[in-house]
Structure 1
Amino acid sequence: MTTKAAVPQIPQEQLTPELLRVWSWHRQGLGGTLAGADPATVLDRAGWARSVGGANAYLTLFARAGIRRPEADAALAAQHIHELPAARGCTYVLPATDYAWGLQLGHASAEASVKVLQRLGVERREIEDLAAEVLRVLLGVRGTETEALDPRGIKQVLGDKVRSLGEEGKKKGASTTLPAALGLLQADGRIRRVPVNGRLDQQRYSYVAWQLEDSGQDDEAVRVRMLERFLCWTGGATLGQIRWFSAFTVAQSKKALAATGAVEVPTAAGHVLWMLPGDVDELAGFEAPKAADIQLLSGSDSLVLLRRNSADLFDETGAEAVAGMSGSALAADLSDHPIVDRGRIIGLWQYDPDNARIAWWTFEPASDGVLVRVAQIEQWITEDLGDCRSFSLDSPKSRATTIARLDALRQR
């Protein structure tokens, strides 16, 4: 008869914010543990990279494994990684092993779009019929030079089968019936969208037919799988953080957590983290590295986005430095990109494409390590990306005030 191994009990007072910041850094593969890994492995180990037409996916891969844009783009073209609607219906870049069940998590978002059209008087049958026509068109051009069709091209082929919903539809964010049909097809893995220039930092897409097999799991099993992955990526999270990322109900979250075997671990700050037993065991023997380890990350990097806990990553000096700053630097979502040392945010940065440079500011005098890493990221962005947008509508013009502010703060 076998018995379940006892989970180590870590004294609450030992789990300080300082230690947990470094622990999160370690679990995110930012301490060198993912050096040399391929793009799919990075996303499997560190978590899905949020994609909103910005540079986050590229910076995620470069910071952890030194992956340059050509390698990332090649992995995308080979379908080793892909941008898909997953948790909460939000788009992330996923490794191939997660496509089917990741899409299953995001299916509710596609259904929500259908419900919007139904409230506008569109019958579900009409949307499903349109989806079938879209798939017929894309299957018909498969293997040709024009097998990827953008929404305009699809609409040109289908003509009046795509219905305009007029001004009322525009108010609801649904000017025609086509997006809802595309959403259903994508959520079912019958089509996939591909960036028109093969890059992850823009939001112009075409569509191709796909034949992705389903996960073979029911929704309950997929929820368990999601929380197992999420807890591995984060090294532990509160129930609120789990629910924000997953959009699961309290009951769904607690049932899935029980199925993972996760345990509650109180921290010195009074929070309760849910952790996998193996992670508790690792944390019990974890020692924070002594040497500085500087990274320039995206404001939507998994280190801060998965749990939306950026405020926890500032120490007292950093919190005082950004207090009252316009753009809510201490809000759940960072207003600027962070400069990070072993999980602690020590400064902020933005890229200035007009001058091919990084505008940056650290809360205390910058070390040589900061200067070196700023120069490295500056060169990489200039050579590989040309710009470092936070999201699709971000532009040098919209960023000008922030860049000037960072320059002024650095010169004080």
Structure 2
Amino acid sequence: MSPQTSAHMGQDSPMDSAMRRAWSWHKQGLDGSLAGSNAATVLGNAGWARSIGGANPYLTLFSRAGIRREEVDADVVALRIHELPTARGCTYVLGAPDFDWALTLGKPAAESTLKVLDRLGVARDEVHALEAQTLQVLQDAATSGEGPLDPKQLKELLGDAVRSLGEEGKKKGASTTLPTVLGLLQADGRIRRVPVNGRLDQQRYAYAAWGLPPSPESPEQARAKLMENYLGWTGGATLKQTQWFTAFTVAQTKAALAAAQAVEAHGMWMLPADAQKAADFVPEKEEQIQLLASSDSLFLLRRNAAEHVADEDADLKFLDAKLSLQGDLPDHPIVDRGRIIGLWQYDPGQERIAHWLFSAPTSAVMHKIQEVAAFIREDLRDFRTFSLDSPQSRQKRIDALNAAG
């Protein structure tokens, strides 16, 4: 079926905003449909979890399937899930069935760093030689039982094979040749990056030899597979939204939509089966409350957080910015069936969740706030958005939430 073909049976009309929010909520498994699933299943059905050294992957899995940090960390060690560079060269936590083909999507970003080294006068032969030496060092470390090595250890063992690129290199984001080589080896699945303390909510890493078999999919097949998964995770997306997430060219996007047999329905590109299901979809009448990270897949996959703000809340402001005008959320959201009904932050000093609800609290909302606060207290101790986030850096937002609430 051509991606220019529209679906029939009354599917041409766009969903209203409330229905679209509820449909996305359902497709993301936030309605309880993924309860009891393992981490790889959740990530395969709801979408890869953006990491950036923050706690989003943990809350992603807890909110959908009640999975605790200890189980997540064990899955990382067992390579049932892992953090890998993939679409747009960004790192996501994903399940083992997606490792090989997802890595191929991140390869162009890794290879683009070679152009920087070219401009700094580093020959390709020198890069390839360092790749071979780095891989050998990591293989030797694995054989000897030494385990993963951090960049400092690698530099010491590789010696003069790692070239300093001086001030000019620093300006271009390449102080030595080692980061480029590590990126290339990781994009090929020859090595993997391991969190030094076993946790996903930080950005201190070591590297280990891996040897992941190459993907059987061609680049075109991998792009089609991503498109099919992406439309399944989101329940549908506009052309602009698909291009934001995938970073495909217009030609690549059209080819991937055609390969996924996508159809235009309800004002979006959708998988054929979802187009029909959406036409028959009836939103849940009872409250379904979740506290999510601002980088949760519900918002990040389409970067459409403003669409999750109801019309009656459109003029609400947080720190002088209108919620309905922001592409990215100013803080973590409290959500009911896809509609943002409040904002929250964890205050580790008080071991509580500071929150602002747009309307009077219900018992379901207060129960969920207490449940998530206990999860953070017991499993995470803090809830960082990204690796450099700290209680001090977010104190202004915590104070603003307390004042608004």
Report what 1:26 is aligned to.
26
Q: Deviations over 1:75-105 (max 9, x none)?
A: 0000000000000000000100111111100
Does the alignment pair 1:51 with 2:51? yes
Shift of 1:9: 2.5
Q: Residues 323 and 353 from structure 1, CA distance in 2 versus in 1: closer, same or farther, beyond 3 angstroms?
A: closer
CA contact (8 A) 2:100 2:213 kept: yes
Report what 1:166 is aligned to.
166
Please give the secondary structure, in 2, of the residue aligned with 1:351: strand
The amino acid that maps onto 1:74 is: A
Q: What is the distance in 2 between the residues matched to 1:327 and 1:156?
A: 51
Please give the secondary structure, in 2, of the residue aligned with 1:141: helix
Report what 2:155 is aligned to.
155
The amino acid that maps onto 1:256 is: A
Q: What is the distance in 2 between the residues matched to 1:51 and 1:173?
A: 21
Match of 1:296 among 291, 294, 300: 291
Shift of 1:330: 3.8
Q: What is the distance in 2 between the residues matched to 1:41 and 1:254?
A: 28
Report what 1:195 is aligned to.
195
CA contact (8 A) 1:8 1:284 kept: no
Comparing 71-80 with 214-223, greater Cα deviation is found at 214-223
Shift of 1:355: 1.2
Q: What is the distance in 1 between the residues matched to 2:390 and 2:318?
A: 25
CA contact (8 A) 2:83 2:94 kept: yes
Please give the secondary structure, in 1, of the residue aligned with 2:382: coil
The aligned runs of 1:240-251 (5 Å cut-off) are: 240-251=240-251
Shift of 1:316: 1.6
Structure 1: which 5+ runs fail to align? 1-5, 267-271
The amino acid that maps onto 1:237 is: A
The aligned runs of 1:4-43 (5 Å cut-off) are: 7-10=7-10, 15-43=15-43
Report what 1:177 is aligned to.
177
Report what 1:79 is aligned to.
79
CA contact (8 A) 1:329 1:336 kept: no
Please give the secondary structure, in 2, of the residue aligned with 1:397: coil
Q: What is the distance in 2 between the residues matched to 1:356 and 1:125?
A: 54
Q: What is the distance in 1 between the residues matched to 2:361 and 2:226?
A: 39
Report what 2:254 is aligned to.
254
Please give the secondary structure, in 2, of the residue aligned with 1:345: strand
Shift of 1:325: 2.8
Report what 2:356 is aligned to.
361
Shift of 1:328: 6.4
Structure 2: which 5+ runs fail to align? 1-5
Shift of 1:143: 3.9
CA contact (8 A) 1:322 1:330 kept: no
Q: What is the distance in 2 between the residues matched to 1:82 and 1:329?
A: 34
Q: Deviations over 1:131-188 (max 9, x none)?
A: 1100000111114342200000011101111011111111111110000000110000
Shift of 1:387: 0.5
Q: How many residues align?
A: 400
Shift of 1:321: 1.4
Does the alignment pair 1:311 with 2:306? yes
Report what 2:389 is aligned to.
394
Shift of 1:251: 0.9
Please give the secondary structure, in 2, of the residue aligned with 1:192: strand
Please give the secondary structure, in 1, of the residue aligned with 2:394: helix
Q: Residues 379 and 330 from structure 1, CA distance in 2 versus in 1: closer, same or farther, beyond 3 angstroms?
A: farther
Shift of 1:329: 7.0
CA contact (8 A) 1:195 1:205 kept: yes
Q: Deviations over 1:320-349 (max 9, x none)?
A: 212773496742221200000000001000
Please give the secondary structure, in 1, of the residue aligned with 2:100: helix
Q: What is the distance in 1 between the residues matched to 2:171 and 2:321?
A: 30
Shift of 1:248: 0.2
The aligned runs of 1:209-224 (5 Å cut-off) are: 209-224=209-224
Does the alignment pair 1:379 with 2:378? no
Q: What is the distance in 2 between the residues matched to 1:161 and 1:371?
A: 58
CA contact (8 A) 1:23 1:283 kept: yes
Please give the secondary structure, in 1, of the residue aligned with 2:333: strand
CA contact (8 A) 1:53 1:200 kept: yes
Q: What is the distance in 2 between the residues matched to 1:186 and 1:132?
A: 13
Shift of 1:317: 2.6
The amino acid that maps onto 2:262 is: A
Percent identical pairs in the alignment equals: 56
Shift of 1:19: 0.3
The amino acid that maps onto 1:59 is: L
CA contact (8 A) 1:317 1:363 kept: no
Runs of 4+ in 1 over 6 A off after TM superposition: none
Q: What is the distance in 2 between the residues matched to 1:338 and 1:93?
A: 21
Q: What is the distance in 1 between the residues matched to 2:228 and 2:242?
A: 11
Report what 2:327 is aligned to.
332
Q: What is the distance in 1 between the residues matched to 2:342 and 2:72?
A: 27
Q: What is the distance in 2 between the residues matched to 1:242 and 1:404?
A: 36
Q: Deviations over 1:249-300 (max 9, x none)?
A: 111101110111111124xxxxx30001000111111110000000000000
Q: What is the distance in 1 between the residues matched to 2:282 and 2:148?
A: 50
Q: What is the distance in 1 between the residues matched to 2:135 and 2:256?
A: 35
